[in-house]
Structure 1
Amino acid sequence: MLHSSKLPSFFPQPQSKPSYQGSLPPTTIHIPLSVFDKVAFDTHVALIYAYRPPTPSNVTLELGLQKALSVYREWAGRFGEDDNGRPVILLNDEGMRLVEASVDSTLDQAMPLKPSESLLSLHPSLKGVVELVQVQLTRFSGGSLVLGFTKHHRVADGQSTSSFLVAWGQACQGIDISPFPLQDRTTFSRRNPPRFEFDHRGVEFMNKKLDNVYSLDDNFMDRHQDIVSFFKPYSTFESLVAHLWRAITKVRALSGFETTHVKIAVNGRTRLNPRVPNEYFGNLVLWAFPCAKVMNLLEKPLPYAAKLIHDAVAKVNNNYFKSFIDFTSYKVEEEDLITTADADATVLCPNLEVDSWIRFPFYDLDFGGGCPYIFIPSYTPIEGCLFLLSSLIWDESIDAFIHLFRDNWTTFEQICYCIE
């Protein structure tokens, strides 16, 4: 990993702004946040890419970025409010932050590159940032490049973010950006009369009086690769999450009468009817919450947990998404509710949260020299948070990035390969 003597030297650049061909678009318009944007985490998320030489110059990367920003203007804007005080994205083209850095050592000397505090030096800060996107280009001796990318979650979900990154790569290669994003965030209209088929209180929303903030004294984030093939009719994802849910619950030594749940993101593009194209740019995610008593989760066989996950995800369907739209449009302001998404939470025990990036084209970010040989989330010290990624060795395996307390990690390593 990066030692203090080998930390990057930084060379901040002016704001990188969109580059347009032809007439300039107006910079006085705005886009309202959708009902799905408003329940997303109000925070920045950081990704780390690594490329072996030859890599394009920083000038080439910035020019490509400016072209991509001319298509995805939201990233070059700022958060603001409309005349009614509602949150919007101002399309003012104020630009994004670009930082250049260098390290006086080879990237191989910093390996293995895994989520730890040293990764924080490879991307811009996640705190107190007005820019909606930031990029850090860190050059290592020998020509390797590490790209640190941060984005605000309320602008776009994983599907949209990965599409933007692919577009950046296309622009760097001189390829026309394709497909173009669909950027109408007003498409999710409420029904009249509304139909509240599900109770969204305590799921996506809560009363302001509730306090969901926890404190963390000791944290540990590690990377663990696992190749799992379980039982039909459940998917690899369902089986893997079921296995990890049981293993993590076991090492936490919880009371058998305690309830544990897993928060799983569900992409609404394929759930809504009519279907929303993958090109939709913004957030379009709600969550499934399979839950169980600890004693049942651990005493029953693995298919029990897999079925809980399967059934909970299946319930987040077209009817659920439309009920959410109606509830958000009619009830949130009336009841003065706030979202349950807590960007400051640091301990999820007895629960888990799973972010799956398996189906998103993050690995397709090619600047002309090939795909990355490393792609990982940055250091995010939240106990109980899991990231699932397709393995870069292209063997259909999955990389699991698991956040656990240090005291639980040794036991977890001993049991994680034991399938009961």
Structure 2
Amino acid sequence: MKVKIESSKIVKPLYEDGEAPAHAEWVPLSVFDKVTYGEHVALIFAFRPPNPPNSEVELGLAKALAVYREWAGRIGDGPDGRRSVLLKDAGARFVEAAVDAPMAVSVPSGPSPDVRRLHPRIDDGPVELVQVQLTRFSCGSLAVGFAGHHQIADGQATANFLAAWGLATRRLPVSPAPVCDRGTRFSPREPPVVLFPHQEVEYRTPAPNKEGDAVDKEQEEFVFGAVAQDKVKVHRMHLSKEFVARLKAQASSGLPPSRHGYTTFQSVVAHLWRAITVARRLGAGVTTKVRISVNGRTRMHPPVPRDYFGNVVLWAFPRSDAGELVSRSVGHAAELVYRAVADVDDAYFRSFVDFASSSGAVEAEGLVPTANSEQAVLCPDLEVDAWLGINFHGLDFGGGGPFRVMPTYYPMEGSLFLVPSTLGDGSMEAYVALFHNHLEEFKRICHKIT
């Protein structure tokens, strides 16, 4: 796919009354912002024609940025030394591109390096917190590549912004307005009450730097590139509505009448965890765990508003001996997922706030987040990013929602993205990254329910 870049510019917020705020403002990142991945996350949206001209989409972006000002800011250290976002309306990157061919024959059906050409480069750590690329195809279709810095917004907050962008492009009011109080919302208790071992869960002690262990950048890129391009492949797996229903029924079959059945998420993660463990040929004595994002908005008391703009995510880590995981039923694996996620409750979130805010351990001991995207291989573990409850399909510039939503090509072995189908019928897509010799076995067994 040959993508021609036609223009690249900065889009700044456009205020309805024409008056920008008089002064720049530093807003401290919350404890949840600082513990998450410090990088851009890219999504691809595909729209069938007709689509509005780029100028209207750009205007909508400018209006949305005036409401979601953090996206137009810059991350740095504030006057008090805390990691913060500077609200100075510096703007977002807006790229216009074209492909002289129809989308159907240009964009690969599955994840591949070509997909990265549909959004601006994010591997160099761009200063703009939002980067957008509009790619027009000869058939009139439009690909929108959106890359946003994770420390500014989690999945729910990003989806809210994308919906607002669509509303502004359609010249409709941005409603509801975001709740922007990340600097003051999550205050520690007095005195702090740390009930759980957050060190080595959300934070860890950095590995010591030994003299002679440094790897120069060129060698590092070669090593990662060799792993990503030659050994790790990303497979797109479709899970039909009927398959998901049968999977949930099988997982829930052993539950007592007093228990509700396992959810779609619990059942699907349990099934894929077992299938990947088999495909990797992991045996008894090997511990395998899954990193699962848990949205704290409805778990914390009082609840955090759904329209809160920022991060409210921690992680659950169901784990098992690999031999036991595959020898027992999918219901057993679903129960492990259920219990681990249930344990990340209000008490756990509050304990984390107290630990990260007031214990002093993070700064005093030089702890770093365990959320580390630089790890190229996760085996024997998995990392799940689930968009099943997030309405990324709500991005609508006036011609209807996208007919396809997908993550960018991300060849981290052991990463798993779950994306609801645009069909809206309960089916979904799973993007599974595995070593190529394990992937063939996974493809063979992934639709078998055991």
Bin for the TM-score computed over the shorter chain: over 0.9
**For 1:200 and 1:111, how far apart are their aligned partners in 2?**
42
What corresponds to 1:279 in structure 2?
307
Alignment of 1:13-412 (within 5 A): 13-22=8-17, 23-128=19-124, 129-185=126-182, 186-209=184-207, 217=227, 218-227=231-240, 228-229=244-245, 230=248, 231-232=251-252, 233-329=261-357, 330=359, 331-412=361-442
**For 2:76 and 2:366, how far apart are their aligned partners in 1?**
20
Does the Cα contact within 8 Å between 2:107 and 2:115 map onto a contact in 1?
A: no
1:254 maps to amino acid: L
**For 1:395 and 1:169, how far apart are their aligned partners in 2?**
23
- Residue by residue over 1:352-404, the C-alpha shift from the partner in whole angstroms, topping out at 9 and shown as x without a partner, is 01111111110011100011111110101101111111111121112111111
**For 1:60 and 1:385, how far apart are their aligned partners in 2?**
36
1:406, distance to aligned residue in structure 2 (A): 1.1
1:27, distance to aligned residue in structure 2 (A): 4.2
- Paired residue total: 414
- Residue by residue over 1:148-190, the C-alpha shift from the partner in whole angstroms, topping out at 9 and shown as x without a partner, is 1101101100000000000000001111001100000121010
Cα separation, partners in 2 of 1:45 and 1:141, compared to 1, 3 Å: same
Does the Cα contact within 8 Å between 2:415 and 2:432 map onto a contact in 1?
A: yes
**For 2:155 and 2:273, how far apart are their aligned partners in 1?**
23
- Residue by residue over 1:198-217, the C-alpha shift from the partner in whole angstroms, topping out at 9 and shown as x without a partner, is 00011000112369x99562
2:277 maps to amino acid: T
1:36 maps to amino acid: F
1:28 maps to amino acid: A
**For 1:14 and 1:126, how far apart are their aligned partners in 2?**
16
1:304, distance to aligned residue in structure 2 (A): 0.8
**For 2:352 and 2:5, how far apart are their aligned partners in 1?**
45
2:193 maps to amino acid: R
Secondary structure of 1:187 counterpart: coil
2:356 maps to amino acid: T
2:366 maps to amino acid: D
Secondary structure of 2:101 counterpart: strand
Structure 1 stretches lacking a partner, 5+ long: none
Does the Cα contact within 8 Å between 2:395 and 2:401 map onto a contact in 1?
A: yes
- Residue by residue over 1:55-112, the C-alpha shift from the partner in whole angstroms, topping out at 9 and shown as x without a partner, is 0000000000000000001111111111232110000111111110111101111244
Does the Cα contact within 8 Å between 1:116 and 1:222 map onto a contact in 2?
A: no
**For 1:177 and 1:156, how far apart are their aligned partners in 2?**
18
1:390 maps to amino acid: P
Does the Cα contact within 8 Å between 2:16 and 2:63 map onto a contact in 1?
A: no
Secondary structure of 2:161 counterpart: helix
Does the Cα contact within 8 Å between 1:51 and 1:371 map onto a contact in 2?
A: yes
**For 1:380 and 1:200, how far apart are their aligned partners in 2?**
28
Aligned-residue Cα RMSD (Å) equals: 1.4
**For 1:115 and 1:307, how far apart are their aligned partners in 2?**
31
**For 1:154 and 1:68, how far apart are their aligned partners in 2?**
19
Secondary structure of 2:11 counterpart: coil
Does the Cα contact within 8 Å between 1:114 and 1:376 map onto a contact in 2?
A: no
**For 1:335 and 1:261, how far apart are their aligned partners in 2?**
26
**For 1:255 and 1:201, how far apart are their aligned partners in 2?**
29
Does the Cα contact within 8 Å between 1:45 and 1:150 map onto a contact in 2?
A: yes
Does the Cα contact within 8 Å between 2:166 and 2:398 map onto a contact in 1?
A: yes
Secondary structure of 1:13 counterpart: strand
- Residue by residue over 1:239-289, the C-alpha shift from the partner in whole angstroms, topping out at 9 and shown as x without a partner, is 110000000011111231010000000000010000111000000000000
Does the Cα contact within 8 Å between 2:107 and 2:114 map onto a contact in 1?
A: no
**TM-score of the superposed pair, with normalisation by structure 1:** 0.96
- Residue by residue over 1:10-33, the C-alpha shift from the partner in whole angstroms, topping out at 9 and shown as x without a partner, is 023321100012221134211100
Does the Cα contact within 8 Å between 2:108 and 2:114 map onto a contact in 1?
A: no
- Residue by residue over 1:105-150, the C-alpha shift from the partner in whole angstroms, topping out at 9 and shown as x without a partner, is 0111124433210011110001220000000010100211111110
Does the Cα contact within 8 Å between 2:111 and 2:235 map onto a contact in 1?
A: yes
**TM-score of the superposed pair, with normalisation by structure 2:** 0.90
Does the Cα contact within 8 Å between 2:170 and 2:398 map onto a contact in 1?
A: yes
Does the Cα contact within 8 Å between 2:28 and 2:84 map onto a contact in 1?
A: yes
Q: State the percentage of identical aligned residues.
A: 48
Does the Cα contact within 8 Å between 2:12 and 2:91 map onto a contact in 1?
A: yes
Cα separation, partners in 2 of 1:418 and 1:150, compared to 1, 3 Å: same
**For 1:408 and 1:353, how far apart are their aligned partners in 2?**
17
**For 1:182 and 1:300, how far apart are their aligned partners in 2?**
45
**For 2:186 and 2:435, how far apart are their aligned partners in 1?**
40
